[in-house]
Amino acid sequence: MKLDRFIRIVIALLILLVFIVAIGAMLFLTESALNVWDRLVDGPKVLLYGYVAVMVALLVTAIELVWRLVVRRKIPAAKRAVPDKLSQNDIKQRLREAEAAGVNVSEAQAELQELAARQRAGAIHLCFFGEVSTGKSSLIRALVPAADVTVDVVGGSTTDIQHYRWRNDLGHQILLTDVPGTGGHDAGFDEQALQEAQRAHVVLFVTDGDLARQESLAVEALLACGKPLVLVMNKSDRFDVEEQAALIQRLLEHLDSLGGTVERDRVVAVSAGGEVDVVERGADGSEDVVRRQRPADVGVLVVAINRLLEEALDSIDEQRDRAVFRLAADKLAEAEAEYRLQRSEQIIRNATRKAVLGALAAVSPGTDVLIQGYIGTAMTQELCKLYGAAPRDLDIEEFLNLSQSRVGRALPLSLAVAGNGLKAFPGIGTVAGGLVHAVAYGLIFDALGRSLVLTLSRHGEFVPDVAAKEFEEGISEHIEAGVRRVAKMALEQKTGGS
Ligand SMILES: Nc1nc2c(ncn2[C@@H]2O[C@H](COP(=O)(O)OP(=O)(O)OP(=O)(O)O)[C@@H](O)[C@H]2O)c(=O)[nH]1
Ligand SMILES: [Mg+2]
């Protein structure tokens, strides 16, 4: 009790002292400031302004330094988004940069080469696009009777991209493109068809009824990349005039709800004819099934195409080019993502190997400062750089500190998983404690790297507490998933090193 009172008195005296010192300091500062000010005011004006300028500059510098130290830098989202209007130079520049960084740009490059070839040839590309069995190939056959297209009742009859030459009444050089139908069992065909549609000047979107959900999404995507589009309602022979009118009305309403950029005269009802099996009875009473061609009725489609080309001929080249630049940019982005994944794999593998080696070499593998050291810092820096994040050293330190505090809880699990994992390798016998520790440490590095890659690719930036939280949430899963890989690595090092 007495001691308590004593401490309180000491604290009270200290507070008093601090206040006296503070008052003294303030008086001293004020006096000298006023002194200086008086002399400056009396002195030449140049000195006064110069002095004020230096003071302001010092203050601004101090504020900036504090700001940099305390406030986190954010990468503006706009820097990562692909701009709406890519020019040929933009995309070429991006390709050069990516190639120099080691990204495989061949697919994106091939798009630009194909575009250049089409620009030289000068034909107008009309791409028939739609779900399987809506009659795309039949429509091409109706327009180009000599076309060697495959038509079948069984969906998925077209499996590659083919171009057929067609000259319309206005004398345009036109290539009709037949692509695989979408919505079949092979999703690769959907991708192939959509890309070809992006390369074309105009898309003839073929449907055989109202638009289903997937079809609406495809129309939306094509309109979004600025494709001029004719909506072709095929197989209209199956409906009477009133039903056809109702269907067209529904399609128009549907298009309106999708943004309404398709004009009314670009929705047409046609009949490609298609084939029909007819039973023919012979004079002797025998029955033969004969495949017959139904008469085609595609006049309105030809009119719609001609009108569109007349109206939009000046702009379709530019629109097509822009869509191809975007396609190339998308392919480049895919290649970049692939490259990052491969590089990050290498970076994580290297860091994990070093961690395992370090733990194996340590006299006492119990050193629990796992990830704050050089290996953790270097791995975090490299991964951030790979994903275009620019963290300050302080951020990395904060992230590693936060993660380290979470490692304690995961270590027992990591040790157990490491022990079990090692037993799975034949010929190991009893597993030495040092090896288990080394694998456990390696697993934690591996988990750290993998969760960081997920965080960076998900958010596109590095925020220490978010990254550390995601590391904690995913650590058990990553540890379980990495065990074979890391155990193998440790065994290789041990046998290779000894
Ligand atoms: N009733 C009717 N059937 C048609 C018409 N056009 C095509 N068909 C039939 O629809 C089926 C599919 O025709 P295709 O031309 O192969 O259709 P597709 O869209 O090219 O099909 P995939 O290449 O598999 O995507 C065939 O059995 C055709 O005979 C039409 O106007 N009316
Ligand atoms: Mg086909």
**What are the extents of the domains in the chain?**
2-70, 88-333, 362-497
Q: How do residues 184-228 score in pLDDT, each as one tens digit?
A: 888 889 999 999 999 999 999 999 989 999 999 999 999 888 899
Nearest CA to ligand 1 atom 11: 153
Confidence at residue 127, expressed as pLDDT on a 0 to 100 scale: 97
Q: pLDDT band at residue 120, thresholds of 50, 70 and 90? A: very high
Confidence at residue 3, expressed as pLDDT on a 0 to 100 scale: 63
Q: pLDDT band at residue 339, thresholds of 50, 70 and 90? A: very high
What single letter denotes the amino acid at residue 184?
G
Ligand 1 within 6 A of CB of 237: yes
Average pLDDT, the chain: 87
Ligand nearest to the CA of 189: 1
Q: Reply yes or no on whether the pLDDT at 333 is more than 90.
A: yes
- Whether residue 455 contacts residue 358, with contact meaning beta carbons closer than 8 Å, is answered with no
* Most confident of the following: 124-138, 282-296, 304-318, 372-386: 124-138
- Whether residue 378 contacts residue 343, with contact meaning beta carbons closer than 8 Å, is answered with no
Gap from CA of 185 to ligand 1 centroid (Å): 17
Ligand 1 within 6 A of CB of 182: no
Q: Reply yes or no on whether the pLDDT at 429 is more than 70.
A: no
Q: Reply yes or no on whether the pLDDT at 175 is more than 50.
A: yes
Q: How do residues 375-409 score in pLDDT, each as one tens digit?
A: 899 999 999 999 988 888 888 999 998 988 888 88
Average pLDDT value for residue range 58-65: 91
Q: Reply yes or no on whether the pLDDT at 70 is more than 50.
A: yes
Give me the architecture of the 88-333 domain, per CATH.
3-Layer(aba) Sandwich (3.40)
Ligand nearest to the CA of 133: 1
In whole angstroms, how far apart are CA 32 and each of 28, 40, 45, 263?
A: 6, 12, 20, 80
Ligand 1 within 6 A of CB of 235: yes
Ligand 1 within 6 A of CB of 177: no
Supply the Cα-derived Rg of the chain in whole angstroms.
Answer: 36
Ligand nearest to the CA of 152: 1
Strand order in the sheet with 124-130: 162-167, 173-178, 124-130, 202-207, 229-233, 267-269
Torsion of CA 306, 307, 309, 312, to 10 degrees: 180
Ligand 1 within 6 A of CB of 155: yes
* Most confident of the following: 68-72, 308-312, 346-350, 404-408: 346-350
CA pair distance 179, 191, nearest whole angstrom? 11
Ligand 1 within 6 A of CB of 421: no
CA pair distance 329, 313, nearest whole angstrom? 25
Q: Reply yes or no on whether the pLDDT at 14 is more than 50.
A: yes
